[in-house]
Amino acid sequence: MKSLLESEPAEPRGEELVGRAEEEGAGEFEDPFEVLRRKMEEMRLLMEEIEEMER
The residues, ordered by sequence, that sit 6+ positions from 1 with a Cβ below 8 Å of its Cβ are 53
CA distance 29 to 16: 19
- Looking at every residue in the chain, the average pLDDT score rounds to 76
Domain annotation covers residue 2: no
Query: How far, in Å, CA of 37 to CA of 31, rounded?
Result: 10
Per-residue model confidence (pLDDT) at position 29: 80
Please indicate, yes or no, if residue 44 is contained in any of the structural domains: yes
Q: pLDDT at position 44, please?
A: 98
CA distance 25 to 19: 10
Asked if residue 41 belongs to a domain, the reply is: yes
What confidence category does residue 19 fall into, taking pLDDT thresholds of 50, 70 and 90? low
Look at residue 47 and tell me if it is in a domain: yes
Residue 49 in domain: yes
* Structural domain total, the chain: 1
Q: Which domain holds residue 53?
A: 31-55
Whether 10 is in a domain gets the answer no
